[in-house]
Structure 1
Amino acid sequence: MSRLRSLVKLALVAVALGLVATPVAAQSLNRAAIDELNTQLLYVALPLTLFVELVLFYAIYRFRDNDDPKPTTDDPALEITWTVATAVILVFVGISGYYVLTNPYLTPAVAAESGDDAADMEVEVVAYQWGWEFRYPEENITTQNRLVVPQDRDVRLVMESEDVIHSIYVPDLGVKQDIFPGQEQVARTRATETGEYDLYCAELCGTGHSRMNGQVVVMTQSEYDAWVDAKTSPNGSATAVSATNNSTNNSTATAS
């Protein structure tokens, strides 16, 4: 009996902690939508888990050492109740998931179909074995393995692969999109917190897959403008031509 009470108390504590825990602020609108969905599902899953576990513990305790078990009697009202409750939960989960899937920051095709795919800026992303190239057409800048974007601005990533299937993945920003050779893929994000975030290739793409990493740097608008000025000045460290040449040299050196 004491063990049963301990298990019940532990379950109640776990549910309480899950309900009162405050999630870390999301770093982008993408991540905010994902975190909100996870929170909604948590509020459904925790009480349901607790209820199932309590029923299980009750059945174990109530019917222990039962030498004369009897078949369960029919209870249509109970069966209808749990069927309706299950249907309501599934409808809630389905609606919540649908609204997230139709979020233009998570499914850019939705924004394109509705004609609302305009963004404050566009960056061309080229994935290759085994690195990333980011081109800024308006600023005539190209960088390697380092994506720099301003805070609180819609950024549209137009991506292509030079060789095999790659996948851009930025966990902290909630960005993940497969990139297929010969096809143009689009991702969209709006970073709300400045900082540096890790970027990975999430698709096995060859022997150098594990080192196909990069960084996303989110700056304030003034810092981003200063960065652009530094890159486009005569003494800038990365122009479109020089960066492209570096990319070619890096690819050749890796292959050799």
Structure 2
Amino acid sequence: MRSPGPRRRRALLVTLVVLVVAVDPALAGPTTTADLINELRYKLLIIAIPVTIVAEAALYYAIKTFRNNDTPKPTLENRRLELTWTLGTAAILLFVGFASYGVMAQPSVVYPADKADADGDDVVVDVDAYQWGWEFNYPRHENVSTDTKVVLPVDTRVFFSISSRDVVHSFSVPEMGLKQDAFPGEENVIMTQTTEQGTYQGYCTEFCGVSHAKMTFTVEVMGQQEYQNWLGDQEQRPATDES
């Protein structure tokens, strides 16, 4: 078998460059939660690239060396090889475990939150899911309730208190790194901090019936003054007028 030619080497180089660019850590998310998840993904992909290269190189070597061997003999024992792959695997697992624990233990990722911990500057949103829609209430502000849009201020901690009126639903905003199931009769709270203005798409990601696909909403993160103006408008509107 001939060694890879210049074209193949260039293709391999381009592939590696694309992989590195694709996991650029500068692509920060709009919340602290998304930042932590993206950082973990970047670390795991960076370690996966050299592992993949080594594995493919070993496969190429084995094919090139032994493909025409008509009388193969089994390797009965190779302590160096066994020690190498055992220690290598252990090192990779320790790295993955340490990096994952550093993210999974963060309160804004999966650590159970309590909206009672919210202080005066935080935003609390009660999320009520039902077949087939949403109701978002701001318990700290009278008469502020929406059904298709969550409005939040930037650079602020946010507590989502999530429950369901009927069946199991799931509150999910992928770009913001947010996902939590909504169970009937239970309250699940997730916490994050907004870091970037913008509009982000939310979904129900738990199949909940024939109109499951219609359970969408948006999350709009705006400046502090814009948010205060929005709150003022919502508090002054008639109680039957939802937006």
User: How does the TM-score come out when normalised to structure 2?
Assistant: 0.89
Deviation of the 1:159 alpha carbon: 1.4
List gaps (5 residues or longer) in structure 2. Answer: none
**What corresponds to 1:127 in structure 2?**
129
1:231 aligns with 234
Q: Quote the offset at 1:70 in angstroms.
A: 2.4
Which residue, 160, 163, 183 being the options, matches 1:160? 163
Q: Does 1:69 align with 2:58?
A: no
Q: Deviations over 1:16-67 (max 9, x none)?
A: 3323542422111111111011001001111001100011011111122112
**8 Å contact 1:28–1:193 — kept in the other structure?**
yes
Matched, 1:150 2:153: yes
2:178 pairs with 1:175: yes
What does 1:26-65 correspond to in 2, within 5 Å? Answer: 26-65=29-68
Letter in 1 for 2:126: E
Query: Which one of 192, 209, 213 corresponds to residue 206 of structure 1?
Result: 209
Contact 1:105 1:187 in 2 (8 A): yes
Whole-angstrom CA distance in 2 between matches of 1:45 and 1:169: 28
8 Å contact 1:201–1:209 — kept in the other structure? yes
Q: Secondary structure at the match of 2:30?
A: coil
Q: Which structure 1 residue ranges, 4+ long, deviate > 6 Å from structure 2?
A: none
Contact 2:172–2:203 under 8 Å retained in 1: yes
The 2-side partners of 1:116 and 1:108 are apart by 15
1:136 equivalent in alignment to 2:134? no
Q: List per-residue Cα deviations over 1:122-166 (Å, max 9, x = no partner).
A: 111111111111111222111112110100100001111111101
Given that 1:8 and 1:54 are in contact with CA atoms closer than 8 Å, whether structure 2 keeps it comes out as no
Q: For the Cα contact (< 8 Å) 1:127–1:162, is it kept in 2?
A: yes
The percentage of aligned residue pairs carrying the same residue is 42
Relative to the length of structure 1, the TM-score reads: 0.85
Q: Output the aligned Cα RMSD.
A: 2.2
Q: Provide structure 1 residue ranges, at least 5 long, that are not aligned to the other structure.
A: 248-256
Partner of 1:184: 187
Instruction: Give the drift of 1:190.
Output: 1.4
Count of aligned positions: 237
2:101 to 98, 102, 108: 98
DSSP 3-state at the match of 1:93: helix
Question: Structure 2: how far apart are the matches of 1:220 and 1:154?
Answer: 14
**Larger deviation, residues 72-81 vs 138-147:** 72-81
Q: Does 1:18 align with 2:19?
A: yes
What's the counterpart of residue 118 of structure 2?
118
Return the offset for 1:73: 5.1
Partner of 1:252: none
Structure 2 partner of 1:242:
240
* Structure in which a larger fraction of residues adopt helix: 1
Q: Distance in 1 between matches of 2:13 and 2:53?
A: 7
Contact 1:157 1:186 in 2 (8 A): yes
Give the residue type in structure 2 aligned to 1:227: W
Which SS does the other structure have where 1:242 is aligned? coil
